Amino acid sequence: MNMKNFADDPAIQKHRWLILVAVCLFTFMSTLDGSIVNIALPVISKDIVIPMNQAEWVVSIYLITICALLLLFGKLGDTRGKIRIFKIGSVLFTVGSLLCGFSVGLGFLLVARTIQAIGAAMTMATNSGIITEVFPFNERGRALGMIGSFVALGSIAGPGVGGLILAHFNWGYIFWINVPIGIVALLIGQHILPKDITVSRQAIDKPGAGLFALMMVTLFAGVFIGQEIGFTRPVILGLFAVAIVATAVFVRLELRIDDPILALHLFENKRFTISILCAFLIFVANFFFNVIAPFYLENARGMAANYAGYALMTFPIVQVVVAPIAGSISDRIGPEILTFIGLVLISISQVGYMLSTLATPLWVFMFFIGLVGFGNGVFMAPNNSIVMSSVPMRDLGVAGGVNALTREMGMVVGISIATTVLFSAMGHYAGHKVTAYLPAHPEIFISGMHVAFMVSLAICLVASVITGWRLFNRRARA
């Protein structure tokens, strides 16, 4: 019997939660690997004898590759089958993880990270689309909430998990831990993932895919290298110029062709556009916390790295608990009001960070860490549900790709703005250029931290106002 959608197939519905487990495992690992490596960079640079600035490319090449390829794999998911692309990505990610753990040299490690990133991009671009197809509408928010939980857990748990692994094993195990988990997820997926039914076989917009990749690579290479050597160097300005030209040509091309790599018409849907914009802003704000909180706890407060890691884990643990509950509630009462409540809670947590000093009791700071996790849990699941439910079935892959791209870009932009604002503010208070924590002057860091979280609060308030406006208009029309 040929089913028109997975929600009508009793055999698939019987295994839908196992399908969710397989998808969530790869979602967790692929987002974890964007943040877990940072803590191991000093060890990696020492072991393979390279300077720290070269070691940074182990992180950068992963993020750049994912950003460059997400839209292509989202489109391939729509045209060749989301489950097919997800399975290939799962294998590539697991193989890449195995190769990354071998201490051969920087070149080998960067190639292995690229293979890992290609696999990660394939799974990230298709995970939400698969779940949207598999789960009936009345359970979709809960299921997408679970994916949101694992995204959050992966993107923020890196330092804590990485620290625990490095305390007992060599750095290769940061990557090798993915291999047994990946094999288990592959075996589950092979057994219960169905064959694709929404496959269009349309031609792929190769010029659009190439231009988008060029745009992402030049933009983020400019950001990462610019942070190291300064943004006014000719090579950096050249990279940004190429990115701007590629963007202009890309938009013009996508508006003119029949089947573009990025369906810009999706952005005519205000629900979709507002949700994507707010998700981007919140990921930017979250990575202000990710950058600054370890400095505050370890350097300013003098906490041991493992205890700081435990404190920071409050964020993802609370989010993981709250997100599926928020998803279930959104299935019953609608997602708009929950997204607004979540954004207000996140904004309140930024005020807490902004007012924290060296004398702030640790439990108070941890309360605000928990509050931002709670706010993210309440916001992310309903927001993902709005994104994936506001597009037609044929565009689910592209919507999932855009959603994942929003997350990755928020991560990169958040890290870049946070470090720039923090060190610029510290330099202002110190009276000279500052590029690192000043051990003799914790008060200068605290002043810089307050400025950085003021910027983060402003970003959260913009997202809150936009979502509040949407909610007000929706209520006015009801």
Residue 217: alpha-carbon gap to chain centroid: 17
Q: What is the mean pLDDT of residues 44-60?
A: 79
DSSP 172: T
Q: What is the mean pLDDT of residues 351-374?
A: 92
Looking at residue 403, its pLDDT comes to: 82
Q: What is the mean pLDDT of the chain?
A: 84
**At which residue do the structure tokens 């000719």 appear?**
234
Q: Are 316 and 156 in contact (CB under 8 A)?
A: yes
Segment 109-139, tens digit of pLDDT: 999 999 999 999 998 888 888 888 888 877 7
Residue 454: alpha-carbon gap to chain centroid: 22
**Does residue 419 have a pLDDT over 90?**
no
Q: Are 430 and 438 in contact (CB under 8 A)?
A: yes
Q: Which of 216, 255, 196 is nearest to 72 (CA)?
A: 216
Band (31; pLDDT cuts 50, 70, 90): confident
DSSP 202: P
Band (2; pLDDT cuts 50, 70, 90): very low
Q: Which residue has the higher pLDDT, 194 or 96?
A: 96
**Does residue 229 have a pLDDT over 90?**
no
Looking at residue 305, its pLDDT comes to: 67
Segment 251-278, tens digit of pLDDT: 898 888 877 888 788 888 888 899 999 9
**At which residue do the structure tokens 């030209």 appear?**
245
Sign of the four-CA dihedral 35, 95, 110, 407:
negative
Q: What is the mean pLDDT of residues 301-309?
A: 77
Indicate the residue type of 97: S
Exposure b/e, 362-392, CB count within 10 A at least 16 = b: eeebbebbbbbbbbbbbbbbbbbbbbbbbbe
Contacts of 165 (CB under 8 A, 6+ apart): 173, 174, 177
The pTM of the whole model exceeds 0.85: no
Q: How far apart are the first and last CA of the chain?
A: 41
Indicate the residue type of 99: L
Q: List the alpha helices (DSSP H) in 257-392.
A: 270-294, 305-312, 314-333, 336-355, 362-389
Q: Which residue has the higher pLDDT, 173 or 477?
A: 173
CA distance 23 to 182: 11
Segment 433-442, tens digit of pLDDT: 877 778 888 8
CA distance 234 to 330: 50
CA distance 91 to 97: 10
Q: Are 130 and 83 in contact (CB under 8 A)?
A: yes
Band (1; pLDDT cuts 50, 70, 90): very low
**Does residue 409 have a pLDDT over 50?**
yes
Contacts of 292 (CB under 8 A, 6+ apart): 353, 418, 422, 449, 452, 453
